[in-house]
Amino acid sequence: MNRITEQESLYTDLDKMPIDALLRGINNEDKTVPSAVEKAIPQIEKLVEVISEKMRAGGRLFYIGAGTSGRLGIVDASECPPTYGVPHDWVIGIIAGGDGAIRKAVEFAEDDREQAWKDLQAYNISDKDVLVGIAASGTTPYVIGGLQKANETGVVTGCIVCNEGSAVAAESKFPIEVVVGPEFVTGSTRMKSGTAQKLVLNMISTTVMIQLGRVKGNKMFDMQLSNHKLINRAVKMVMEATGTDEETAQKLLEQHGNVRKAVEAFKQQD
């Protein structure tokens, strides 16, 4: 397969370029990413629909990947509980090489075709769930092996890749292909490809959580109140939703723990 993610950078002699030219070159390349993501919206929509359907019925969303792709999946999964107040086992990110690979690369972990399924079995993955493989190249053996096994057992599969016609996409029932072109530094897929994957992950998890009723209006009604900034935001949200004063809103939050429950309790008092 002719992988565009491995093609030569459109820029030459980077080591001789001044800082300003390097920064502007990177920025110019980054500007192309949203357009590439936009072209993939029909694919993203199909995957979001099936994830929402499965999760409404009690299923979970799994991400698997290696290196940057794996880390991005873990970031997206880890941000769902504090943002939307969902349990930690609703969205699960798994990286080749285990949690240690989040900080430090584990040599050849991505080349093991069998390990992803072993990692997923620790969570008792089933046909109620959805598995999304993340791989810029679309050729990562760890991801391919996990998707193959998932297909064999009836698990719905999707992917986020940055090449067309990849092996990962071939193993996915709902593939998302965001082709961003050659990287500024040849083959450095943590750059445009990683940015594209992050944007798509934001779109998937945010839209799914809205579909599951975890947003009211345009507010995070179920967010965890884990710091002073979020508590202050929550107070304002309760005041806005109920018309009550700040002191009452604070007391409601202290009693009920989040915005949704505080607002519901206030309305029941009326």
Q: Which residues are catalytic?
A: 79, 110
What CA–CA distance (Å, rounded) separates 78 from 67?
Answer: 17
97 alpha carbon, distance to own chain's centre: 19
Residues facing 61 on adjacent strands: 91, 130
User: How many CA atoms, within 13 angstroms, populate the side-chain half-sphere of residue 62?
Assistant: 28
DSSP string, 139-186: --HHHHHHHHHHHHTT-EEEEEESSTT-HHHHT-SEEEE----S-SST
What CA–CA distance (Å, rounded) separates 121 from 118?
Answer: 5
Q: Tokens representing 34?
A: 């949203």
Angle at 230 between CA 225 and CA 234, to 5 degrees: 85
